[in-house]
Structure 1
Amino acid sequence: MTIPALAVVLVGAVTAGCGASGDSGGGPADGKGLEKTRITVGTMPVADTAALQIAIRKGFFKAEGLTVRTTTLSGGAESVGRLRAGAIDVSFGNYVSYFLAHANKALDLRIVSDGFQSAPGTHAVLVPKDSPVSSLKDLEGKKIGVNTKRNISALLVQKAGKAEGAVFDDDKDFVEIDMPNMGTALESGSVDAVQAVEPFVTAIEKSGAGRVVADLGKPPTAGFPIAGYASTAAFTEKNPKTVAAFQRAMSRAQRQAGNRSNVVAALPDYTKITTEEAAQLRLGGYPVALDPARLRRVVELMREFGYVKQEIDVEPLLVRTAP
């Protein structure tokens, strides 16, 4: 199987409008009372965003009176930039990029929904199949591809590497590569390793382009909070009913994503992989509610590796509305 056969290509724009199914919703189907009934949401072509697609697929946004258009982003840095520019209303992104932007005053952000947490196999470091590398320690001083520097990818590698006595410099040891191009980068030898997520981990393994040398979904980074959905403080303050409607739809979808079959069914809707291929993927968790205690774990790890020096108070950044 070739990499393109499993490569994920997000549909350019998806609009909520399918009939709802599953648990009941709580919002007006006509959007009456919402400050804004059409919103643009930034997303990424990864299994982490399956709940968003479930909400679209099952009409959860429509039940809340929302029409959602999605646009594809390359990573957390682009998410921050496009939120700041007002090009998107809500965006999926990793917590490291979000908290770093907040600490650097690059964006006055608010987290409106949790998204994904790691599990065994969901995040991994891969090397070419014939590479002599057998551990993260062997990768010291070598080039590791990540989708964005100084984000969750590099941080997980640094933490797992530390457990093996390896030290990685964020500026010198990591290079940026879009997720769909990681298998090609391994085959060309432009990098010594990549930090990939599902479905790209499985794609690279199946194609023969690489093998897993470190599973970042296991200790010391097991069950790590990976990403969520954020907006700006200005948007959430101006559109509280719209944000609450988005949250209700996502809460329903996150709950349904806890059933593996719902995720497997949704993946072919916004990717080019088949249901059979989707069934092979390793999936993580889709938390239903925002939990400041969980997210403080991200801040603690960021401070451990010098991403930020100051403490970040997570609680005020979370938008939690009543059902």
Structure 2
Amino acid sequence: MLASVGGCGLLGGSDDSADGGNGDLEKTTIKVSLMPTIDLAPFHLAMQNGYFEDEGLTVEPVNAASGQVSLTKLINGEVDIAYSSYTPFFVAQSKGAAEFKFVADASSASPKSTMIVAMPDSPVKSIQDMTGKKVAITSPNTMSDTLTKSVMKTNDVDFSNVDWVSLPFPEMAGALQRGDIDAAFMTEPFITSAAKTLGAVPVFDTATGPTKDFPTAGYASLARFADESPKVVAAFQRAMDKATRDAADRSKIEPLMVEFAKVDKEIASMTTLLTFQSKLDAERLQRVPDLLFEFGGITERMDASTMIATTTDAT
């Protein structure tokens, strides 16, 4: 379970922040909502290696079934920081649900890590075949939706006539196998799993052209928390930055995929990893609301730079 990540030692140790990191943090215990996804590997490394503890932080992970649930927990005050794909944060803020500040980056789409896949006998053999077909995404105005539409537009394929079907990632393979859908947007490890277990084949990469290296997910707090606790945010960033550097070693990542994302060991060894990142870059992040605006996910342009937390010493 995610709630047990890092072991009892990290969650049950001393709250005396003078033992490590900054002794004057605004608070020493924070809750972070997570999901069982492979791009959380750096977070798990930070927990297991005691990097948060070194900063004087006790981090309590909280399970969330999806990015939207994670976001809801943040808005409701159940957690201090939430992990999610970027799109729900921008959509929620655009609708006035809350004001957010991004505190750390998490991942971006590397080649072949986010793809449209289909069964070998599917009528969808290429991107040109998508029009008029049933295609699974997680839900409208999500990363799966916007990345797919962007690549279709780039290739002059009409996405307005696609029959978009909302499904959670774990249900997509079964829907493909039954013929309920013609194709599906998948990320890893679902791409590799569907290929290994069903013989599903890639149709096209959704991280190409305008969406190459596209920012996919990150961590955010409510703006009030970031403004009132800049030292906590800086401590969180330092720990995540250190763990993200560690994550360059794939041998450290695969066991975490098995333990926390519940990925089969063989599939973990074959999976194409997203690009792990921790430092926020306003110009890079701006690509997310720009794409959402282009495809109607938000109705007005948003400035991503205003949503990046300002800290005391996040080096």
Q: Same fold (TM over 0.5)?
A: yes
How far apart are 1:184 and its partner, in Å? 1.4
Task: Name 1:60's counterpart in structure 2.
Answer: 51
Counterpart among 136, 147, 151 of residue 156 in structure 1? 147
Give the structure with the higher percent helix.
2
How far apart are 1:69 and its partner, in Å? 2.5
Task: Name 1:71's counterpart in structure 2.
Answer: 62
Checking the alignment, whether the CA contact within 8 Å between 1:15 and 1:69 is kept in structure 2 is: no
Task: Name 2:232's counterpart in structure 1.
Answer: 242
2 CA distance for matches of 1:312 and 1:27? Answer: 40
1:132 aligns with 2:123: yes
1:227 aligns with 2:223: no
Checking the alignment, whether the CA contact within 8 Å between 1:44 and 1:74 is kept in structure 2 is: yes
> Equivalences for 1:154-233 in 2 at 5 Å?
154-169=145-160, 173-208=163-198, 210-233=200-223
Counterpart among 97, 108, 132 of residue 106 in structure 1? 97
Checking the alignment, whether the CA contact within 8 Å between 1:17 and 1:56 is kept in structure 2 is: no
Task: Name 2:13's counterpart in structure 1.
Answer: none
Counterpart among 270, 274, 280 of residue 284 in structure 1? 274
Checking the alignment, whether the CA contact within 8 Å between 1:117 and 1:224 is kept in structure 2 is: yes
Identity of aligned residues (%): 33
Please, which runs of 5 or more residues in structure 2 have no aligned partner?
11-16
How many residue pairs align between the two structures?
307
1 CA distance for matches of 2:278 and 2:262? Answer: 27
Spell out, residue by residue over 1:250-291, the C-alpha distance to the aligned partner (whole angstroms, 9 max, x if none): 111122223323222432231333554322111121223110
Task: Name 1:93's counterpart in structure 2.
Answer: 84
Please, which runs of 5 or more residues in structure 1 have no aligned partner?
1-9, 20-25
2 CA distance for matches of 1:71 and 1:135? Answer: 40
Mark the CA change 1:287 to 1:27 in structure 2 (over 3 Å): closer, same or farther.
Answer: farther
How far apart are 1:47 and its partner, in Å? 1.8
1:316 aligns with 2:315: no
2 CA distance for matches of 1:144 and 1:118? Answer: 20
How far apart are 1:208 and its partner, in Å? 1.6
TM-score with structure 1 setting the length? 0.86
Cα RMSD between the aligned structures? 2.4
Checking the alignment, whether the CA contact within 8 Å between 2:35 and 2:67 is kept in structure 1 is: no
How far apart are 1:86 and its partner, in Å? 1.1
TM-score with structure 2 setting the length? 0.88
The residue identity in structure 2 corresponding to 1:238 is E
1:144 aligns with 2:129: no
The residue identity in structure 2 corresponding to 1:121 is K
The residue identity in structure 1 corresponding to 2:246 is Q
The residue identity in structure 1 corresponding to 2:244 is Q
Mark the CA change 1:185 to 1:259 in structure 2 (over 3 Å): closer, same or farther.
Answer: same
The residue identity in structure 1 corresponding to 2:128 is K
The SS at the match of 1:125 is: strand
The residue identity in structure 2 corresponding to 1:213 is V
1 CA distance for matches of 2:4 and 2:159? Answer: 38
How far apart are 1:156 and its partner, in Å? 0.4
The SS at the match of 1:107 is: coil
2 CA distance for matches of 1:144 and 1:88? Answer: 34
Task: Name 1:3's counterpart in structure 2.
Answer: none
The residue identity in structure 1 corresponding to 2:181 is V
The SS at the match of 1:301 is: helix
The SS at the match of 1:145 is: strand
Mark the CA change 1:190 to 1:74 in structure 2 (over 3 Å): closer, same or farther.
Answer: farther
Mark the CA change 1:37 to 1:298 in structure 2 (over 3 Å): closer, same or farther.
Answer: same
Checking the alignment, whether the CA contact within 8 Å between 1:15 and 1:68 is kept in structure 2 is: no
Mark the CA change 1:260 to 1:73 in structure 2 (over 3 Å): closer, same or farther.
Answer: same
Checking the alignment, whether the CA contact within 8 Å between 1:76 and 1:151 is kept in structure 2 is: no
Answer with 272-281 or 244-253: which moved more.
272-281
The residue identity in structure 2 corresponding to 1:289 is K
Mark the CA change 1:149 to 1:74 in structure 2 (over 3 Å): closer, same or farther.
Answer: farther
The residue identity in structure 1 corresponding to 2:85 is N
Task: Name 2:109's counterpart in structure 1.
Answer: 118
2 CA distance for matches of 1:16 and 1:27? Answer: 21
The residue identity in structure 1 corresponding to 2:46 is A
How far apart are 1:223 and its partner, in Å? 0.7
The residue identity in structure 1 corresponding to 2:26 is E
Checking the alignment, whether the CA contact within 8 Å between 1:18 and 1:57 is kept in structure 2 is: no
The residue identity in structure 1 corresponding to 2:288 is V
Mark the CA change 1:18 to 1:201 in structure 2 (over 3 Å): closer, same or farther.
Answer: farther
> Equivalences for 1:289-304 in 2 at 5 Å?
289-304=279-294
The residue identity in structure 1 corresponding to 2:302 is I
Checking the alignment, whether the CA contact within 8 Å between 1:18 and 1:59 is kept in structure 2 is: no
How far apart are 1:248 and its partner, in Å? 1.2
The residue identity in structure 2 corresponding to 1:196 is M
Task: Name 2:14's counterpart in structure 1.
Answer: none
Checking the alignment, whether the CA contact within 8 Å between 1:40 and 1:70 is kept in structure 2 is: yes
The SS at the match of 1:87 is: coil
